[in-house]
Amino acid sequence: MPKERPEHQIKIMITQVSDSLYSQLIKTYGENLPSAEPRSLDEIRKQAFERFKRVGFPTVKHEDWKYTNVQPLVNQHYELDVEPSFAAIDLNNAGIPRLDAYRVVLVDGKYHAGLSDDVSDVPGLSIMPIDQAFERLCFAKYFAQFADKTDNPFVALNTAAFTSGLFIEVGKNTQLSKPVHIIHVSAARQPVFNQVRNLYVMSAFAEAEIVESFITDDAAERNLNNLVTEIMVREQAKLQHYYLQTATSQSSYLNHTEIYQEKHSLYNNYNCTFPGPAFVRNNINVRLGDSEVESHLYGITLTAGNQLVDNHTIVDHLKPHCESYEWYKNITQDTSTAVFNGKIFVRTDAQKTNAFQQNNNMLIGEKSAVYTKPQLEIFADDVKCSHGCTIGQFDNDALFYLQARGISEAQARILLVHAFAFDVTSRFANATVREYVEHLVEEGL
Amino acid sequence: MLSIKNLHASVDDKEILKGLNLEVKAGEVHAIMGPNGSGKSTLGNVLAGREAYEVTGGEVLLEGKDLLELSPEDRAREGVFLAFQYPVEIPGVSNINFLKTALNEIRAYKGLPPLEAREFLNRVKEKQKLVEFDAKLANRSLNEGFSGGEKKRNEIFQLAMLEPKLGILDETDSGLDIDALRIVARGVNQLRSQNNAFIVITHYQRLLEYIVPDFVHVLYKGRIVRSGTKELALELEEKGYDWIKDTVDAEGAA
């Protein structure tokens, strides 16, 4: 029996494994973090960088990363900042049929004015590259106020090193008549590690829909995208937020979304991932910061090939009389892996909380895997909370029943997967997006 | 229409059908009766092509075409319809959508264009009436939360919609009260024609009072051991299956 390795040796070993990118980052940014006016941001970056430097990249020994090994990803060589190649970007793969929206295109995180709609004449709507928002009052107020309080080292790295991303502000009482469609394109012709930072502010009584598509340009080299999005939903505001992950195997994503909600606000997230990107880790954290807040998190994940898709969510009930509703469905094919970790906190103050969580998994691939972990931590005593989780396989009796009526096996599978996803897809507020997602499910089978 | 010769089939390596022969002509209704475990449901499932049932010998021809070669969906498209003993509940798949998909796939197989929406809805309305199937049920998820009787009526509603050549009713009478039984039987009787045929699998004679068969066959130990007209069913009802078991086993011993 080999003796257990002492703790410090393990740490040394781990650091060595991910040495290349880590030391590249330390060397590049150690004395030279991105800087711009106002200087107040410099201090935030410096502190964040120290945090990242201290912890480094997570390993599977960290509970939050147990099933999601980032070491192979961060053990490769990347360029840290490349000039975006704006030439010949093909947006066809991000097109949502019949969706009339304000289009915003980010190429490797950088705002592409030529491909984006000019929204300067839309009352109450401001969209701009994030570095143009540094002087804004609400940037100073909300930037790094939420995501950086978590212990995700990728957030710290992002805060320290981001140079691109998007700022959106929907003004007080503004109800957007069209959704904002953000298209994230990975297009760099050399291997790249992008740090993209977004801040969306929904002012009081504002209402909007934000649809975000992720695609890979055909000519792109492999790319690792570290995105952090902070979302402030102010009093009485409503935001419908869609993630449509349709990139290709060249792309991998670390996507951290941190939402803070004020009184009487509504935030709905619809998180959809399809066959394509090699590695996707989503962290979606919602803080219900005041009373009478409502939040819905829906997820539909269809994986194939050797994909890994990990959805970590936190629903944090801080105040009384709030309602949260979470339903995630995973369908795994081939040798792919899906991870779901849903944590609900009900803090001492959060009496009369109503929290629901459900995760259902359908394993189609005999060698596919699902790891699921629902977690409830309740500190208040007058609450209604429920969670449930199922793992199952394809229902062969149902398949035969459909075939016995003349429906082909392929079509029968589509019908059954649609049926499985129905609890989630039927909740989509936007029928056009729903139709598109159902189409992507069919294509992905 | 249907010709079954020396059919052998097993489930989990256990032989259930042991040389079954049956000829069904267009326009005929054949009843298959028999004690529990005689292989009645196996016959229905083998004809429909359920994977767990392995055919180990014999042949089945539908209008001269080798049925056993075909996938379950192609059998359905060729005109075989199995009304299930236990219809499956499929939440999230709407009854109507399911029927539209099925009907159009069968039509595509025959080289026909999809049915126009209006034509389809007219047909739905007409056939719903036939089996007194509630329009509300038609719009619900497939069999989800249906009562036993509603599920069986849905099977006959589907049969009416798809207009198969050969309808196989697998214990459609089980779990039905007398009113539901009458409705189901009336539906089937209205669907009977010179161009189609039915195999009615049942344990009891009761159903055959409403769907009057041209021929009655008794299945026992995987073989048809007696064939006759509807009077055979009455005789069975009177004397019980033990009568068949005893005489057949005695013949076997001799």
What gap in Å lies between CA A127 and CA A112, rounded to an integer?
Answer: 12
Average confidence (pLDDT) over A374-399: 94
Could you tell me which residues come within 8 angstroms of residue B43 by beta carbon, excluding any fewer than 6 positions away? B7, B17, B20, B32, B199, B201, B219
Predicted ipTM > 0.90? yes
A423 shares contact with chain B (CB less than 8 Å): yes
B234 CB burial (10 A radius; 0-12, 13-18, 19+): middle
Give the pair of three-digit tokens for residue A176: 């957007």
Residue bearing tokens 């609890």: A423
Give the pair of three-digit tokens for residue A56: 């480094």
Residue-range domain boundaries for chain A: 79-395, 396-445
Residues of B in contact with A423 (CB under 8 A): 92
Q: Which of B72, B103, B109 has the CB atom closest to A404's CB atom?
A: B72
Inter-chain CB proximity B93 and A415 less than 8 Å: yes
Full DSSP string of A281-322? EEEEEEEE-SSS-EEEEEEEEEE-TT-EEEEEEEEEE-SSS-
First to last CA, chain B: 35
Residues of B in contact with A402 (CB under 8 A): 90, 93, 98, 102
Residues of B in contact with A407 (CB under 8 A): 73, 98, 101-102, 105
Q: Provide the shortest C-alpha distance from residue A300 to chain B (in Å).
A: 15
Gyration radius of chain B's alpha carbons:
18
Q: Which of B91, B97, B162 has the CB atom closest to A405's CB atom?
A: B162
B165 CB burial (10 A radius; 0-12, 13-18, 19+): middle
pLDDT on residue B254: 67
| Tens-place pLDDT, residues A244-273 | 999 999 999 999 999 999 999 999 999 999
Q: Which of A404, A408, A419 has the CB atom closest to B91's CB atom?
A: A419
The pLDDT of residue A8 is above 50? no
Q: Which of B71, B75, B88 has the CB atom closest to A401's CB atom?
A: B88
What gap in Å lies between CA A59 and CA A15, rounded to an integer?
Answer: 10
| Tens-place pLDDT, residues A422-434 | 889 999 999 999 9
Element (H, E) at A155: helix A153-161
Q: Are B235 and B205 in contact (CB under 8 A)?
A: no
Neighbours of B149 (CB within 10 A): 16
Closest residue on chain B to A408 (Cα): B73
Inter-chain CB proximity A398 and B90 less than 8 Å: yes
Q: Which of B73, B103, B162 has the CB atom closest to A408's CB atom?
A: B73
Interstrand relation of A238-245 and A207-216 (parallel, antiparallel or unpaired): parallel
| Tens-place pLDDT, residues B110-169 | 999 999 999 999 999 999 988 888 888 888 899 999 988 899 999 999 999 999 999 999
Residue-range domain boundaries for chain B: 2-253
Band the pLDDT of A38: cuts 50, 70, 90: confident
Inter-chain CB proximity A400 and B158 less than 8 Å: no
Inter-chain CB proximity A404 and B76 less than 8 Å: yes
Band the pLDDT of B176: cuts 50, 70, 90: confident
> What CATH homologous superfamily does B2-253 map to?
P-loop containing nucleotide triphosphate hydrolases (3.40.50.300)
A390 shares contact with chain B (CB less than 8 Å): no
Closest residue on chain A to B101 (Cα): A407
pLDDT on residue A326: 98
The pLDDT of residue A13 is above 50? no
